[in-house]
């Protein structure tokens, strides 16, 4: 990892009152970006081909550093896997990149929009499926998608059309009129994913998107995500399911105790770590995080 200079804590005031996961903008329309040095003018894409640039992003919770000066780039259109053990700092990083948490220090640029200067501008171009689903349980699935689409500024008719297509696509059409409170966990996950997609984001943050989703829907979702990257959408994705990573990700970063310990294609990392091209990703992962895998039995289990 490249060394990063420590930047002082900066004031980082979220300006949006939108609920988590909801941006607010007319879709397929370039947004004006205010007050950013790396500004892209309406109709132009940011230079350099980077969808994400992290600049020393740091989060300290009550004296404990959860995310420690992360600095890396993600090129546009990448299926980017963000991996690491429990408590490594993955969700905290995603929360900072999406404006749900204020960084203690550092900054990031998302599709040319600087987080510290135009949080609402960032929210306009991103979608997020967070770890804790931000669903309003007293709405029906269909009402929730209507709400999400309207919050992003989509016209009512277009919202309705996209909501119907998404519900059909994710096999939720028969449950469209059911209260979210009565959805199963997997159904809630699929609905939250639909809400993250409805405004056609340029960068999609997915925190454990496949958790609780059945294999058929999982394949539908991963096929869709792959088609999105082919159209230039960038996916920033966490999962603990390593064969999904191997199948889908163009590039990965591995975080351990708040720091990046490896980044690149899976083959690059195999080469760097000298584990051999036939080593499983699990072996590579265990080596990277120097996991202390317990081999001895728990004597009292089954006794
Ligand atoms: N709101 C909070 N207050 C205090 N500590 C927090 C808070 N959120 C996260 N942490 C701490 O920050 C560290 C990183 O947590 P984070 O949720 O980012 O991990 P993660 O990589 O997403 O793990 P998992 O794979 O289990 O989801 C952990 O030590 C966690 O206890
Ligand atoms: Mg997490």
Q: Which domains does the chain have, with CATH numbers?
A: 50-288 (3.40.50.300)
pLDDT at 132 (0 to 100): 87
Tokens linked to 3 = 């060394």
**CB-defined site of ligand 1, < 6 Å:** 61, 66, 84, 86-92
pLDDT at 294 (0 to 100): 62
SS3 per residue for 126-188? EEEECCCCCCCCCCEHHHHHHHHHHHCCCCHHHHHHHHHHHHHHCCCHHHCCCEHHHCCHHHH
Q: Which ligand is nearest to the CA of 62?
A: 1
pLDDT at 86 (0 to 100): 94
How far is ligand 1, taken at its centre, from the CA of residue 276, in Å? 32
pLDDT at 111 (0 to 100): 96
Dihedral angle of Cα 102, 57, 110, 37, to the nearest 10 degrees? 90
pTM summary value: 0.83
Nearest residue (by CA) to ligand 1, atom 8, is 92
Tokens linked to 267 = 């083959």
pLDDT at 179 (0 to 100): 97
Location of structure tokens 């699929």: 190
Residue of 62, 68, 87 to test ligand 1 pocket, by largest number of atoms within 8 Å of CB:
87
Partnered with residue 253 across adjacent β-strands are: 82, 263
Residue of 61, 64, 85 to test ligand 1 pocket, by largest number of atoms within 8 Å of CB:
61
pLDDT at 26 (0 to 100): 36
Helix (H) or strand (E) holding 97: helix 90-97
How far is ligand 1, taken at its centre, from the CA of residue 258, in Å? 10
Task: Count the alpha carbons within 13 Å of 186 in the hemisphere toward its beta carbon.
Answer: 12
pLDDT at 30 (0 to 100): 33
pLDDT at 146 (0 to 100): 96
How far is ligand 1, taken at its centre, from the CA of residue 93, in Å? 9
| Cα–Cα distance for residue pair 91/100, rounded to 1 Å | 10
Q: Which residues of the chain have pLDDT under 50?
A: 1-47
Nearest residue (by CA) to ligand 1, atom 2, is 61
pLDDT at 287 (0 to 100): 82
| Cα–Cα distance for residue pair 22/123, rounded to 1 Å | 7
Partnered with residue 234 across adjacent β-strands are: 203
pLDDT at 285 (0 to 100): 85
Residues 6 or more apart in contact with residue 257 via CB below 8 angstroms: 68, 88, 89
Over the range 246-284, which residues count as b (16 or more CB within 10 Å of their CB) and which as e?
eebbebbbbbbebbbbbbeebeebbeeeebeeebebeeb
| Cα–Cα distance for residue pair 201/259, rounded to 1 Å | 28
Residue of 60, 89, 239 to test ligand 1 pocket, by largest number of atoms within 8 Å of CB:
89
């Amino acid at each position: 990892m490249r060394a990063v200079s420590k930047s002082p804590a900066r004031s980082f005031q979220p300006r949006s009152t939108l609920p988590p996961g909801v941006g607010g903008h007319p879709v397929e329309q370039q947004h004006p970006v205010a007050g950013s040095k790396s500004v892209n003018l309406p109709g132009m894409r940011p230079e350099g081909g980077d969808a994400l640039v992290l600049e020393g992003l740091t989060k300290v919770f009550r004296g404990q550093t959860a995310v420690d000066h992360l600095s890396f780039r993600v090129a546009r259109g990448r299926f980017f896997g963000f991996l690491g053990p429990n408590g490594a700092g993955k969700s905290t990083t995603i929360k900072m990149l999406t404006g749900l948490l204020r960084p203690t220090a550092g900054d990031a640029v998302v599709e040319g929009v600087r987080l510290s200067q135009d949080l609402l501008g960032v929210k306009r171009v991103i979608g997020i499926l967070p770890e804790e689903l931000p669903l309003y349980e007293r709405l029906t699935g269909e009402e929730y998608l209507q709400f999400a689409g309207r919050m992003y500024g989509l016209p009512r008719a277009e919202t309705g059309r996209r909501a119907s297509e998404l519900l059909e696509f994710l096999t939720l059409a028969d449950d469209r009129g059911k209260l979210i409170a009565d959805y199963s966990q997997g159904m809630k996950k699929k609905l939250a994913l639909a809400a993250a997609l409805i405004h056609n984001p340029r960068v999609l943050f997915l925190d454990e998107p496949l958790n609780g989703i059945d294999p058929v829907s999982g394949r539908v979702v991963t096929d869709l995500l792959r088609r999105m990257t082919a159209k230039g959408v960038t996916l920033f994705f966490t999962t603990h399911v390593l064969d999904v990573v191997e199948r889908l990700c163009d590039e990965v970063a591995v975080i351990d105790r708040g720091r990046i310990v490896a980044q690149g294609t899976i083959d690059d990392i195999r080469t760097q770590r000298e584990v051999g091209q036939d080593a499983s990703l699990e072996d590579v992962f265990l080596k990277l995080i120097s996991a202390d895998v317990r081999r001895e039995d728990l004597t009292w289990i089954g006794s």
